Chain A
């Protein structure tokens, strides 16, 4: 079992550019959540996808958008990058979230640096 895989592992972009990050969930998982983790902080919830639809969204601007494909993999897109978007972006997969404990498995993350 490959677990949750994310690509790329590291990325450097210029302010104003757009970026796409990718995530393949753990086998058997159908729900993908994205988190942003600034240095020394806890992960901040961006949004969650289930059945190819955005089901929950955190307090992030519309510049952050996503997609889930029929094979449950997911993309996170960020437009008009700002310096403050520099962070570790984590993808977490789980079985369908039903409001009870579903252990979330995290990928190693994509380290995005905006210069």
Chain B
């Protein structure tokens, strides 16, 4: 089977940096994606890692270690609008995207 584990909740202060971790067990693993979903909204794509290392997109960075079956999403200069649920999702030959249960990020003043 395939499974992903991520913390259920994270709270961080506006302007700070937060890291959301994700570990996965995925056969035929291709890569790890991250999606953001605001309450009542659609998941929106943030980043994708197929190779080990760090991918940076503005205030968001994502990291992957294939040997450790581990990745994380790093959010810098947190803003109130970043309060949302964040999902890691693995891509494999068996199923296009398998999502974790999500991490609810609360940004406080």
A interface residues, Cβ below 8 angstroms from B: 4, 33, 35, 40-45, 48, 56, 58, 90, 92, 94, 97, 99-101, 103-109
Measured CB to CB, the residues of B under 8 A from A are: 4, 30-31, 33, 35, 41-45, 48, 50, 87, 89, 91, 93-102
How many pairs, one residue from A and one from B, have CB atoms within 8 Å of each other in the complex?
A: 64
Residue of B nearest to A38 (CB): B101
| Set of chain A residues within 8 Å of B4, measured between Cβ atoms | 42
A101 in contact with B48 (CB, 8 Å)? yes
A105 touching B99 by the CB < 8 A rule? no
- Interface SS of chain A: loop
Residue of A nearest to B103 (CB): A42
A-B residue pairs in contact (CB < 8 Å), sample of 22:
A4-B42, A41-B102, A42-B99, A42-B100, A42-B102, A43-B99, A44-B99, A45-B96, A45-B98, A56-B96, A58-B95, A90-B42, A90-B43, A99-B91, A99-B93, A101-B31, A101-B33, A103-B45, A104-B45, A104-B96, A106-B35, A109-B42
